[in-house]
């Protein structure tokens, strides 16, 4: 058993340690049965230094149970205390080494508690501690992209260490791992090259980084990713925000094929809270989709956060938005600039109702694992024709296991006429939400307490807001039937509670920049 006199007294349960071999190649081998180790976990065992190699896609489990790869023979350890895994980031293809805390007792990274169900990205020399005095060190063997940005020295470097580890990529930006130098807190930073934008900050597709930053200053809501700090140099703009390791909702749907109806209802409830906050301030997101909905942790019933507000607009009564944007499968009929026939213009304005349509598409996708509208032939005009027709298919077998209330909720959101479409306020009163409102509110409060990322960094930095770019959705929809959109705006008289601690909305203070 480990003791405070010999704090490194760890044992490995089933196999003796093999002699470690140094990786000589610059990059780790990412496939094949003869991989070389990417890194090592090292600790002291009496007078001996012991280690365990880390390989790609072979998580190392640390804990008290004898089945663990590294057994900690002490009551301070949980049966499964933490895992360390080498993974390939899906979008950037970068190699990341991630430590996930599985213990209620706490796993500490460089002296800071990670938190059960949460994770950190490890770099060379990081110390993982089970309890004060019981720790091991991570050593990097293979070369992993990590280090300072290649941009010339600037004031940002005094406050942050921006690494080359890419967490995600979009058309006009990429997300990198960053450290606050004073606290060593891990954050994410959205890096945008100014050369991709016009003088007023607008890029192709309508994305406006100046507008995004301006719009989100002052926003504080548990279901909206908040910006901690904003900085710019001659060539780049940096937006600093929380590091969320749960991935996005699109991947969560794809990996699970579809989401259980009750969990989907909980996710929609959270998105409704965020949309109510925005819509009460006359702000439409305009690019609502699973890729722009992030999970705080990669597990069921997670807290979710909306992100990527580069296309958001103030939507006052006298100021209707008229620029088509958003991923095509999720855009509302009124956002389509051309109908089924090429060149046939549809000149209409649109309001916050566009987000309600997108929410309907998201709900359909979550519970069925399919999209209601798709361009399988690669012809956007076919997709636009489907959207403008509003034809929905509830004939697939999965719908037999789903409630009629769920179908009615989707139909009410996917009304062609935005004036007849269910609003956020009416969505809270719809039986599918209202009948479980008390339970959802309680579950939400518990989720925020346990999952909640702080709305402030360890040491408060600057203003607020945030975003990430998502990749275009690939349609997984099968053939369509001929069910028509005949749903009504069903609602109950039960008042919906907009639960959660949040600051006041920015309301009319938002300035239109473009």
Query: What DSSP element (H or E) covers 408?
Result: helix 404-413
Q: How far is CA 205 from the centre of its chain?
A: 22
Answer yes or no: 469 catalytic. no
Adjacent-strand bridge partners of 128: 109, 136
With beta carbons less than 8 A apart as the criterion, state whether 218 and 464 touch. Answer: yes
d(CA 384, CA 328): 8
Q: Pairing mode, if any, of strands 186-193 and 229-232?
A: unpaired
The one catalytic residue in 126, 287, 451, 469 is 287
DSSP state of 121: E
d(CA 308, CA 297): 19
With beta carbons less than 8 A apart as the criterion, state whether 135 and 7 touch. Answer: yes
Within 8 A by CB and 6+ apart from 318, the residues are none
Does 190 count as an annotated binding residue? yes
Within 77-208, where are the H helices? 156-159
DSSP state of 400: G
- Buried b / exposed e across 128-165, counting CB within 10 Å, b at 16+? bbbbeebbbebbbbbebbbeebeeeeeebeebbbbbeb
Tokens standing for residue 50: 């012991």
d(CA 305, CA 346): 33
Q: Pairing mode, if any, of strands 70-71 and 48-54?
A: unpaired
Within 8 A by CB and 6+ apart from 50, the residues are 10, 12, 17, 42, 43, 44
Tokens 């006041």, residue? Answer: 504
With beta carbons less than 8 A apart as the criterion, state whether 86 and 57 touch. Answer: yes
What is the per-residue DSSP string for 183-220?
Answer: T--EEEEEEEEGGGS-TTSB-GGG-BHHHHHHHHTT--
Query: What DSSP element (H or E) covers 459?
Result: none
Tokens standing for residue 370: 């399919």
Tokens standing for residue 491: 């609602």
Adjacent-strand bridge partners of 192: 237
Within 8 A by CB and 6+ apart from 286, the residues are 311, 312, 313, 321, 325, 326, 354, 355
Tokens standing for residue 162: 């921006």
Mind telling me the catalytic residues?
287
Which residues make up each annotated binding site for ATP? 190
């Amino acid at each position: 058993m480990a003791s405070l006199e010999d704090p490194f007294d760890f044992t490995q349960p089933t196999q003796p340690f093999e002699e470690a071999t140094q990786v000589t190649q610059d990059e780790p081998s990412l496939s094949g049965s003869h991989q070389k180790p990417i890194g090592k976990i090292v600790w002291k065992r009496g007078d001996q230094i012991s280690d365990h190699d880390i390989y790609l896609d072979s998580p190392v489990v640390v804990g008290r149970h004898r089945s663990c790869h590294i057994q900690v023979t002490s009551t301070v350890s949980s049966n499964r205390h933490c895992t360390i895994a080498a993974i390939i980031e899906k979008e950037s293809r970068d190699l990341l080494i991630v430590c996930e805390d599985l213990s209620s007792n706490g796993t500490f990274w460089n002296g800071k508690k990670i938190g059960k169900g949460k994770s950190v990205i490890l770099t060379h020399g990081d110390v993982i501690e089970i309890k004060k005095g019981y720790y091991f060190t991570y050593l990097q063997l293979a070369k992993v992209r990590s280090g300072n940005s290649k941009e010339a020295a600037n004031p940002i470097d005094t406050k942050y260490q921006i690494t080359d580890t890419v967490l995600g990529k979009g058309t006009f930006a990429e997300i990198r791992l960053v450290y606050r130098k004073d606290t060593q807190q891990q954050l994410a930073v959205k890096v945008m090259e100014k050369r991709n934008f016009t003088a007023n900050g607008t890029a192709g597709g309508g994305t406006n980084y100046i507008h995004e930053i301006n719009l989100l200053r002052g926003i504080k809501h548990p279901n909206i990713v908040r910006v901690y700090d904003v900085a710019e140099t001659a060539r780049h703009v940096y937006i600093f925000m929380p590091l969320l390791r749960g991935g996005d909702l699109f991947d969560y749907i794809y990996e699970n094929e579809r989401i259980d109806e009750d969990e989907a209802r909980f996710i929609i409830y959270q998105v409704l809270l965020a949309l109510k906050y925005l819509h009460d301030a006359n702000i439409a997101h305009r690019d609502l989709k699973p890729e722009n909905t992030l999970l705080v942790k990669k597990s069921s019933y997670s807290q979710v956060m909306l992100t990527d507000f580069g296309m958001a607009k103030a939507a006052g009564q006298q100021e209707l938005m008229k620029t088509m944007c958003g991923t095509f499968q999720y855009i509302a009929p009124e956002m389509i600039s051309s109908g089924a026939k090429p060149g046939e213009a549809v000149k209409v304005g649109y309001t916050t109702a566009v987000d309600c349509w997108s929410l309907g598409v998201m709900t359909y996708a979550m519970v069925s694992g399919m999209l209601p509208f798709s361009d399988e032939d690669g012809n956007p005009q076919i997709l636009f024709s489907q959207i403008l027709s509003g034809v929905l298919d509830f004939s697939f077998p999965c719908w037999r296991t789903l409630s009629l209330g769920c179908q009615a909720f989707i139909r009410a959101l996917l009304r062609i006429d935005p004036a007849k479409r269910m609003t956020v306020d009416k969505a809270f009163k719809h039986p599918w939400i209202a009948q479980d409102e008390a339970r959802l509110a309680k579950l939400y409060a518990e989720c925020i307490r346990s999952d909640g990322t702080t709305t402030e960094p360890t040491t408060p930095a600057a203003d607020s807001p945030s975003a990430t770019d998502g990749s275009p959705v690939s349609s997984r929809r099968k053939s369509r039937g001929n069910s028509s959109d005949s749903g009504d705006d069903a609602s109950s008289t039960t008042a919906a509670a907009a639960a959660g601690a949040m600051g006041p909305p920015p309301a009319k203070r938002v300035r239109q920049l473009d």
